[in-house]
Amino acid sequence: MYNTNAPLAERMRPKSLDDYFGQQHLVGKDKPLRKAIESGSLPSMLFWGPPGVGKTTLAQIISETLDRPFYSLSAINSGVKDIREIITKVQNQGMFGGQNAILFIDEIHRFSKSQQDSLLNAVEKGIITLIGATTENPSFEVISALLSRCQTYILKHHTKEDLEALISKALKEDRILKTKNVAVKETEALLRISGGDARKLLNSLEIAIGALPSNQKEITNEFVLQNVQQSLTNYDKTGEQHYDIVSAMIKSIRGSDPNGAVYWMARMIEGGEEPKFIARRLLILASEDIGNANPTALIMANTCFDAVTKIGWPESRIILSQCIIYLASSPKSNASYMAINVAQNIVRQTGDLSVPLHLRNAPTKLMKDIGYGANYQYSHNETENLHTQEFLPKEIVNTAIFTPSNNKREQDLRKYLNFVWKGKYGY
C-alpha cells in the first residue's frame, strides 16, 4: 500500500538497480558491484561515502534483488547483544531461508573494537553477508581483521546535474507532488541547503512545496531561503548539519579565532559527536593549515588524538579545548600542503620521469658499471656544494615546488635554503 504519510525521501526510495540514483561507477552496466550482484556471488562489503548518497538504499536493493533475508542495525543504538541475536536467528533458520542473510549496519565506524570483533566469525563462515555503511574512512575506523574480509566500495557525492534530475523526477513521478503542478524555477538555494545530500534535498523540496500559498505555483531561491532553512533544522534533527559545523570549526582555527573554534566544537560535542572524529580533523588541520610555521602543532594534535582515544567523554572535551585553542592561536602556513599539490600536479602532467643516474641505487656490479650512482655527492661531505648537485629529473630542473610562507619559522627556512642553493629556486 502506498504510504502517503511517509516523507518524500522515503516515497522516492528506488526499489531496483535500474531505478537507483547515481553511483554509476559501481552499479552501471558491467561495473564491479553490479556484476557481483548479478552473479549472485556477493562478498561482505563496506560502503564508504558522504551522507545522502544512497548507502542504505543500495543495501536494501541488493537484498531484494537477490531475495535474501535482510537485517538492519544502527551502530548508534545497537551492541554485541543485538548482533548475536541476529546471528543466532540466522543459524537457527538454517536451510529454511536463513543462510546468505544480509546484515546491514549503518554507521559501522561507531562500533567499538569488541563490537566489530563479534561479527568476524559469522562473516568468515558465511553465516551472514555484512554490508557496513560509513561516512568515515574505513581504514581508520574498521578493525583490520574485518576490513580484510570486506570489499570496500566508495560512493561519490552527487553532482549538481544529479540533484536537479532528482528534483525533476520527484515532481513528475511522486504521487502527491505531481498533482500539485508546482515548478521549481530556481534550484540554487535547494542545492545549497542540501549540501549534496539527496535525502535532505527531497526533504527541503517537500517543505518548500508545503509552504507555498495556494495561489503560488513556482519555487524560487528567495522563497526557499525564507521558508525552508529553519524548518529543515527542526525537520531533520538527525541529519548531517554537523558537516557544516565541522567546516565552521576548521575555518575558525584557520582564521586564528579560538573563540569561534571552541564555540563550534562545543556545538559538535553537544550534538553527540565522537571525540575521535573531532581529534582527527584537528590532526589533519595541524599539518594542512599550520605545517612548518609551527611543527609542534602536529605533535600537539597527535597527542590530543591519542589522549581522547584513551579517555573518552566527558573529560576529552578539556583535552580537545586545549588543543583547539593552541592550534587557533598558532602561526599558520599551508606551504607544505601546497607543495605536495604542486608536486602531484607535475607528476600527472609529466608522467614517470627517469631518476637521474647519480641518484639511482647500485646494488650490483652491473649497475655500477653502467653508471648507476656515478658522481653522486654524499651530502654530509658536501655541505658547501649541494647546489652543484641536481635532485630532480632533467625535464623539470630548477622547478620550485616548495614556497615558504611569510612567517618567522619558514622565513628562517627560506634563508637556509637560499644559502644552500645560492638562489637557484628563487628563495
Parse the chain into domains and list their residue ranges: 22-154, 160-235, 241-328
pTM given for the model:
0.57
The three-point CA angle 228-232-236 to 5° equals 165
Mean pLDDT on 193-204: 83
C-alpha grid cell, residue 85: 541475536
Whether 383 and 416 have beta carbons less than 8 Å apart is answered as no
Give the model's pLDDT for residue 230: 55
Residue 248: pLDDT above 70?
yes
Q: Residue 417 contacts by C-beta under 8 Å, 6 or more apart in sequence?
A: 404, 425, 427
What is 22-154's CATH topology?
A: Rossmann fold (3.40.50)
Q: CATH 1.10.8.60: does it fit domain 160-235? A: yes
Q: Could you tell me what percent of the chain has a pLDDT over 70? A: 88
Do the strands 45-48 and 151-154 form a parallel or antiparallel pair, or are they unpaired? parallel
Distance CA 330, CA 254 (A): 9
pLDDT digits (tens, 9 = 90+) for 256-294: 888 888 988 888 887 777 788 889 899 999 999 998 889
Residue 99: pLDDT above 90?
no
Give the model's pLDDT for residue 284: 92
Give the model's pLDDT for residue 1: 43
Give the model's pLDDT for residue 303: 94
Mean pLDDT on 382-387: 63
Q: What is the CA radius of gyration of the chain?
A: 27
What is 241-328's CATH topology?
A: Zinc Finger, Delta Prime; domain 3 (1.20.272)
Mean pLDDT on 28-50: 87
Output the CA torsion 142→146→148→149 (10° steps): -140
Mean pLDDT on 64-79: 87
Q: In what order do the strands lie in the sheet with 70-74?
A: 70-74, 101-106, 128-134, 45-48, 151-154
- Residues 215-227 as b/e (b if ≥16 CB within 10 A, e otherwise) read eeeebbeebbeeb
C-alpha grid cell, residue 238: 538527525
C-alpha grid cell, residue 269: 560535542
Residue 105: pLDDT above 90?
yes
Q: Residue 365 — very low, low, confident or very high, per pLDDT cuts 50/70/90?
A: low
Give the model's pLDDT for residue 341: 86
Residue 399: pLDDT above 80?
yes
pLDDT digits (tens, 9 = 90+) for 230-247: 555 443 434 445 667 888
Residue 385: pLDDT above 80?
no
